Amino acid sequence: INRAVDHNQLLMDLIDKVAANHHLKVLLHEKPYAGINGSGKHNNWSLVSNTGKNLLSPGSTPKTNLQFLTFFINTIKAVQDNADLLRASIASAGNAHRLGANEAPPAIMSIFIGSQLTSVLEEIEKKVTTKGSMSPELKTELKLNIGKIPELLKDNTDRNRTSPFAFTGNKFEFRAVGSSTNSSSPMIVLNTIVAHQLKIFKTEVDALINKKVKKDVAILRVLRKYIVESKDILFEGNGYGEEWKAIAKKRNLSNITSTPIALDAYLSKQSVEVFTKNEVFTELEINARHSILLEEFTKKIQIESRVAGDLAINHIIPTAITYQTKLVQNINGLQNLKLGQEYYKIQLAIVKEISDHIAEIKVLVDKMTDARRKANKIESPRECAISYHDKVVPYLQNIRRHVDKLEIIVDDEIWPLPKYREMITLK
């Protein structure tokens, strides 16, 4: 994983340099163009032993498939118990534009495993007993059905592109990572929560073995328990649909759309325990990372807000007034020719429309600037970031709406910036 993450970072750096050599610019932002699909990364993740065996690849015997199910189910359980932390690992100002936008996975963490594996888990839940010994016949039946897993997956064509975390044959794909993100953070979280879960699994299995339960039965009993406890995180449907939000709410799955709030998961008692018990981060390091992530979010929104305000006041409004003045001169000329209003009523309507948009932009920029000033006075990094998200970000969208309207109206020859269509296609 370290090598793959490093290669990804090197590639991002390389394409940026190559693009510059050709007088181009690489857009690594998660959502550079509104209305067009954003950009993200699919982090393919699996576990491989020191002998090179993929532990998430089904084998050819019941024994090797029990090994596969052990790591497969423990990964699901890890995501179930630490979904908010996994969500926090991909939270950023840029990714907030993309998640849940009917083109990318939603902000709700869920796992897609396909109908075949779902039926395998249902069978284990149904047939594995929680107490007493398992009959030889039941053991044989289970082993035979577990042995069919490779055959089931061979022709598995289930694909759900709306799922943020999906099993795809011999690996999981974490699809919610943003295009500008360093993949090390989500991979640190995923590795840590799975390692933590495997330790818990080992402890629970050993406890049953100490009670004279046979090893394979002990493993199946614990796996059955995890299957029951992890049902809520499994979802096979359309992650883009509104109905999924309602279903997720009933399952008590978080739908955190605010980046500053999502980052709170780093500081939860459970997350701190996961990191510290596995000696990944100290509590001081966790707090430091949380503060840095909040500051990064705040600074990005602050810069975007200032640039948007500057462009609106110093470029857009003056240009709109210049075009409006031309229209007024045209109207005056037609009036001097004693022509009726029907000859300049369209120009007059455009003049009024421009005035309305100019007035709205000015009011919104002033309110946004005021909201930014108030946010900057907040001492708490968390509350400051929340204020930027809740109070400043909405103004950016509203200002943009009026600027977009002016871009369509104002004369192309005097518009000071590349128009939206020109940035998407060559002029």
289 occurs within a structural domain: no
Domain CATH for 322:
1.20.120.1560
- pLDDT bracket for residue 139 (50, 70, 90): low
Could you tell me the pTM of the whole model? 0.90
pLDDT tens-digit readout, 150-171: 655 544 545 677 889 999 888 9
Same domain, 128 and 243: yes
* Tens-digit pLDDT profile for residues 366-402: 999 999 999 999 999 999 999 999 999 999 999 999 9
Least trusted range by pLDDT, from 14-18, 147-151, 242-246, 296-300: 147-151
Is 150 within a domain? yes
Each residue of 118-127: pLDDT tens digit? 988 998 898 8
Residue 290, in any domain of the structure? no
Give the domain-ending residue among 249, 281, 313. 281
> Which tens digits make up the pLDDT trace of 36-83?
888 899 999 999 999 998 999 887 766 668 889 999 999 999 999 999
* pLDDT for 293 beyond 90: yes
In a domain, 109, yes or no: yes
Q: What is the mean pLDDT of the chain?
A: 90
Q: Indicate whether 220 and 142 sit together in one domain.
A: yes
Asked if 101 and 190 sit in the same domain, the reply is yes
- 98 with 182, same domain: the answer is yes
Please check whether residues 204 and 324 belong to one and the same domain: no
| 3-state SS record for the chain | CHHHHHHHHHHHHHHHHHHHHCCCCCCCCCCCCCCCCCCEEEEEECCECCCCCECCCCCCCHHHHHHHHHHHHHHHHHHHHCHHHHHHCCCCCCHHHCCCCCCCCCCCCCEECCHHHHHHHHHHHHHCCCCCCCCHHHHHHHHHHHHCHHHHHHCCCCCCCCCCEEECCCCEEEEEEECCCCCHHHHHHHHHHHHHHHHHHHHHHHHHHCCCCCHHHHHHHHHHHHHHHCHHHECCCCCCCHHHHHHHHHCCCCCCCCHHHHHHHHHCHHHHHHHHHCCCCCHHHHHHHHHHHHHHHHHHHHHHHHHHHHHHHHHHHHHHHHHHHHHHHHHHHHHHCCCCHHHCHHHHHHHHHHHHHHHHHHHHHHHHHHHHHHHHCCCCHHHHHHHHHHHHHHHHHHHHHHHHHHHHHCCCCCCCCCCHHHHHCCC
- Does residue 288 belong to any structural domain of this protein? no
pLDDT at residue 197, rounded to an integer: 98
Give the end of a domain, one of 229, 255, 281.
Answer: 281
CATH number assigned to the domain comprising residue 121? 3.30.590
**Mind listing the pLDDT tens digit for each residue in 218-269?**
999 999 999 999 999 999 988 888 889 999 999 999 999 999 999 999 999 9
Q: Are residues 266 and 152 in the same domain?
A: yes
Q: Which residue has the higher pLDDT, 275 or 168?
A: 275
Q: 357 and 254: one domain?
A: no
pLDDT (average), residues 200-207 = 98
Higher pLDDT pick, 12 / 131: 12
State how many domains the chain has. Answer: 2
Does a structural domain hold residue 186? yes
In this structure, are 111 and 156 located in the same domain?
A: yes
Instruction: Please check whether residue 287 lies inside any domain of the structure.
Output: no
Instruction: Note whether 21 and 52 are same-domain residues.
Output: yes
Instruction: Based on the fold, state whether residues 128 and 153 are members of the same structural domain.
Output: yes
Q: Do the domain assignments include residue 401? A: yes
Tell me which residue range forms the domain holding 313. 296-424
For residue 155, what pLDDT is reported?
A: 47
The whole-number pLDDT of residue 66 equals 86
224 with 135, same domain: the answer is yes
Across residues 283-294, what is the average pLDDT?
97
The confidence score (pLDDT) of residue 1 equals 76
Share of the chain above pLDDT 70, in %: 90
Check whether residue 19 and residue 108 sit in a common domain. Answer: yes
Dihedral angle, C-alpha 374, 376, 378, 380, nearest 10 °: 150
Residue 14 has pLDDT above 50, yes or no: yes
Q: Which of 281, 309, 344 is the last residue of a domain?
A: 281
